[in-house]
Amino acid sequence: MLEIDDLWVNIDDKEVLKGINLRVPVGETHILFGKNGSGKSSLLMTIMGFERFAVKQGRISFLGQDITQLPIYERARLGLGLSFQRPPTIRGVKTADVLRVCSRGAIVPEVLAAAYDFTQFLDREINYGFSGGELKRSELLQLLAQNPKMALLDEPESGVDMENLQVVGAIIAKLLQKERRPQAREKSGLIITHTGFIMDYVNADKGYILLEGRLLCSGNPRDILQDIKRFGYEECTRCRR
Amino acid sequence: MPEIKQRAELGRKKKATFGRDLNLEEFSRQGGAWEYDPDYRQFSPEERSRLLATGIELTDEDHAGTFLLADKAIVHCQTRQPGVEVLPITEAASRHDWVKDLLWGLVAVDADKYTAAAELDLDNGYFIRALPGAQISQPVESCLYLRTDRFAQHIHNLVVVEEGASLHIITGCATHPGVISGLHVGVSEFYVKKGGRLTFTMVHNWGKEVHVRPRTAVMVEEGGTYVSNYILLRPVKSVQMYPTVTLNGEGAVARMQSIVIAHPGSELDIGGRVILKAPHTRAEIIARTLALGGVSIARGHLVGLAPDIKAHLECRGLILGNGVVYAMPELEGRVVGVDMSHEAAVGKIAAEEVEYLMARGLDEDEAVSTIVRGFLNVKIEGLPPALEEEMEQAIQESGKGL
Ligand SMILES: Nc1ncnc2c1ncn2[C@@H]1O[C@H](COP(=O)(O)OP(=O)(O)OP(=O)(O)O)[C@@H](O)[C@H]1O
Ligand SMILES: [Mg+2]
């Protein structure tokens, strides 16, 4: 589904990604760990095509098509979807309208919201004054409306309370077709998490640690998380290198 | 009366406090001799569509009353519902002897050369009155129309909402599609009596070289409500106005909203002032300015003179391209117990917001339009459908070619 080869990315003059190679096959979900500031969000934003992230070298392809130069909305229309770590507020634009936009008119926001306890936010300006957990739910519902082939989730569970974690988990499970047999899954995911809580709700096939713009190791995501907890990032990247 | 004339004479050359100074002699006072037109037959399809985009439907249907002044000629004037009176101001003064006492009761005749001109060389204007207790459900439609190029139109309007009455006026001010330049001077004095309610929606749709100088003042008595909506979406040379509402009786309420687009070459200086003179009065001013290459000054002034008042001023400007927005909010509290606040923000569209929507599948134009639509999203009740369409079109166009 997603193939990244030798990707080098700058923000202004700062190198944030240094030779990333990554493959996420159809139906698989991969997990990205890494210290604060290591470049995880930058990687997702680059895959989505944000202008600030200048690709200096390398190639991103999605569904067999080179998308490295495509504008954001064309990537979205091809089937890439991103839930933001820190989404912006847009004054005056109603959440319901954004949900409608995401689905290109295919869903009824009221119905979607009712299913995930989100009705009271429909009339509010998108993300304006939303609490941390509310922002995450808003992001994920937008993705659900968008129904992407591949979901890029940037810390979808951070700041979410235990009860809402269930809601968030359910949305992500739906996005990634967890209810299907692994071979029958058509959707892929790339998820950033610090806590790993989200792995209870998805089938995480593979994990990585990103350190200073480099993907340093890969393996079973639960094992990696264990090691990070036990030995810390420095030690962990050294041993798994 | 002679005293008013004298003061007007003295004000004849007086520059206005704000806005570029105009030489009134550069305009013509030769308006067209348009005939009275009970069925609106003299209007070409082109004029009709322009007026429609200004909220003027040119029909007596669904209107409590209608009024149309072209240049200086009364072309149409109808009353359709009991409880409402619509007359040319010149006629109203002879029908009710108290009318003369209300004229210049709120606006100073010697405020500047424009008010003076409206007194010394008046064309006409509307008189609209809702009788005591009358609930006028349909709007009164009034149109002040510049139909001759270079004409300077001098208007004086009077609105009286009697005790407990309720009235909605939609007034569209426009130029003929062929008119490029001209001047509109409009003095308006509105009296909202005890428990009355006036909603005043004004839409401007002028020519590129037209100068506009409204001079509006409103007096709201105890328990009365005044709601004004102002919409300017199309190019104009200059508009300078600073309508002032005085909340004179306990519990009176004012809400002033404006949506303004400054196109290249437009100089806008548009304000709103509410003087909260009585206890428990409330006021809200909401201004949205979109600069599309023009210059816009957005003023707001709340004056709290009595305790237990509450007032808020919100002024937001969005700059697309090379426009300039100056937001100048002022709060003036003169006693303890006033609760006044303001919020002013001026900025360009954030790339982050555009990209956010693009990540949801909107192309750049769609994303910008969505943000602009949100920015201009001020709830205005009772807009004619054609005007809603006009707004949508202006929004779509504003996103183009950035
Ligand atoms: N606009 C910017 N200008 C300069 N540096 C930036 C900018 N945006 C991001 N960076 C830097 O790029 C690096 C990578 O940031 P990124 O947001 O990708 O980290 P992250 O791995 O997602 O961290 P976290 O776990 O804290 O979310 C950080 O050092 C960050 O400060
Ligand atoms: Mg991050």
Q: Which residue among B360, B371, B377 sits closest to A146, beta carbon to beta carbon?
A: B360
Residue A202 — very low, low, confident or very high, per pLDDT cuts 50/70/90? confident
Mean pLDDT of chain B: 94
Does B375 sit within 8 Å of A72, measured CB to CB? no
Q: Give me the mean pLDDT over the B56-83 stretch.
A: 95
DSSP assignments along B84-131, one per residue? EEEEEHHHHHHH-TTHHHHTTSSS-TTSSHHHHHHHHT--B-EEEEE-
B173 token code pair: 């001010």
Q: Give me the mean pLDDT over the B299-319 stretch.
A: 95
Q: Is the dihedral of CA A130, A131, A132, A135 positive or negative?
A: negative
Cβ–Cβ under 8 Å, residues B151 and B28: yes
Asked if the C-beta of B62 comes within 8 angstroms of chain A's C-beta atoms, the answer is no
Does B357 sit within 8 Å of A101, measured CB to CB? yes
Residue A178 CA to residue A209 CA, distance in Å, equals 24
B342 token code pair: 């303001």
CB neighbourhood size of A36 (10 A): 6
Q: What does the pLDDT look like over B364-382, one tens digit per residue?
A: 989 999 999 899 888 787 7
Residues 33-62 (A) with a CB less than 8 A from some CB of B: 48, 50-51
Asked if the C-beta of B353 comes within 8 angstroms of chain A's C-beta atoms, the answer is yes
Residue, of B2 and B332, whose pLDDT is higher: B332
Question: Which of B286, B288, B357 is most worth mutating to test chain A (most A CB atoms within 10 A of its CB)?
Answer: B357
Residues of B in Cβ contact (< 8 Å) with A142: 360
Q: Which atom of ligand 1 is closest in space to residue A45's alpha carbon?
A: 18
Cβ–Cβ under 8 Å, residues B278 and B254: no
Residue A240 has pLDDT above 60, yes or no: no
Q: Give me the mean pLDDT over the A73-87 stretch.
A: 96
Residue A51 has pLDDT above 70, yes or no: yes
Nearest CA to ligand 1 atom 8: A11
Residue type, B1: M
Nearest CA to ligand 1 atom 31: A37
Give me the residue label for tokens 């995480």: A204
CA-nearest residue to A48 within chain B is: B359
The pLDDT, as a whole number, for residue A236 is 67
Helix (H) or strand (E) holding A30: strand A29-34
The pLDDT, as a whole number, for residue B402 is 54
Residue A237 has pLDDT above 80, yes or no: no
CB neighbour list of residue B192: distance below 8 Å, 6 or more residues apart: B161, B198, B218, B219, B220, B221, B224, B225, B226, B252
First to last CA, chain B: 55
Residue B163 CA to residue A128 CA, distance in Å, equals 41
Residue B348 has pLDDT above 80, yes or no: yes
How many whole angstroms from B281 Cα to the centroid of ligand 1?
Answer: 50
Is residue A37 classed as helix, strand or coil in its secondary structure? coil
CA distance A32 to chain B (A): 21
Residue, of A230 and B183, whose pLDDT is higher: B183
Residue A156 has pLDDT above 80, yes or no: yes
CATH number of the domain bearing residue A232: 3.40.50.300
CA distance B57 to chain A (A): 29
Asked if the C-beta of A12 comes within 8 angstroms of chain B's C-beta atoms, the answer is no
Q: Please list the alpha-helical segments (H only) found in B106-199.
A: 113-120
The pLDDT, as a whole number, for residue A159 is 85
Q: Residue A183: how many CA atoms within 13 Å on its side-chain side?
A: 0
Between A5-9, A182-186, B36-40, B162-166, the lowest mean confidence (pLDDT) is in: A182-186
Q: Please list the alpha-helical segments (H only) found in chain A.
A: 40-48, 72-78, 95-102, 109-115, 132-146, 162-175, 221-240
Asked if the C-beta of A101 comes within 8 angstroms of chain B's C-beta atoms, the answer is yes
Residue B70 has pLDDT above 90, yes or no: yes
Nearest CA to ligand 1 atom 7: A11
CA distance A198 to chain B (A): 23
Mean pLDDT of chain A: 91
Give me the residue label for tokens 């990333």: A20
Question: Can you give the residue range of the structural domain that contains A127?
Answer: 2-240
ipTM confidence score = 0.94
The pLDDT, as a whole number, for residue A238 is 67
CA-nearest residue to A47 within chain B is: B359
Residue A241 has pLDDT above 70, yes or no: no
Residue A195 has pLDDT above 60, yes or no: yes
Look at chain A and report how many structural domains it folds into. Answer: 1
Question: Which of A73, A78, A138, A153 is most worth mutating to test chain B (most B CB atoms within 10 A of its CB)?
Answer: A73
Q: How far is CA A55 from CA A21, A210, A212, A219, B257, in A?
A: 14, 18, 16, 27, 46
Cβ–Cβ under 8 Å, residues B70 and B34: yes
How many whole angstroms from B368 Cα to the centroid of ligand 2?
Answer: 26
Q: How far is CA B249 from CA A95, B42, B219, B279, in A?
A: 40, 45, 9, 8
The pLDDT, as a whole number, for residue A54 is 95
The pLDDT, as a whole number, for residue A239 is 60
The pLDDT, as a whole number, for residue B401 is 52
Between A169-178, A227-236, B148-157, B267-276, the lowest mean confidence (pLDDT) is in: A227-236
Q: Which atom of ligand 1 is closest in space to residue A34's alpha carbon?
A: 21
Nearest CA to ligand 1 atom 2: A11
Q: What does the pLDDT look like over A219-236, one tens digit per residue?
A: 888 988 888 888 887 776
Query: Chains A and B: how many Cβ contacts under 8 Å?
Result: 67
Percent of chain B with pLDDT over 90: 88
Between A160-164, B21-25, B70-74, B218-222, the lowest mean confidence (pLDDT) is in: A160-164
Residues of A in Cβ contact (< 8 Å) with B350: 88
Q: What does the pLDDT look like over A88-121, one tens digit per residue?
A: 999 999 999 999 989 888 888 888 888 888 899 9
Name the maximum alpha-carbon separation found in chain A: 51
Mutation test of ligand 1: which of A9, A42, A44, A233 has the most ligand atoms closer than 8 Å to its C-beta? A42
The pLDDT, as a whole number, for residue B304 is 96
CA-nearest residue to A126 within chain B is: B374
Could you tell me which of B273, B287, B270 has the C-alpha nearest to residue B340? B273
Crossing angle of helices A132-146 and A95-102, rounded to 10°: 30
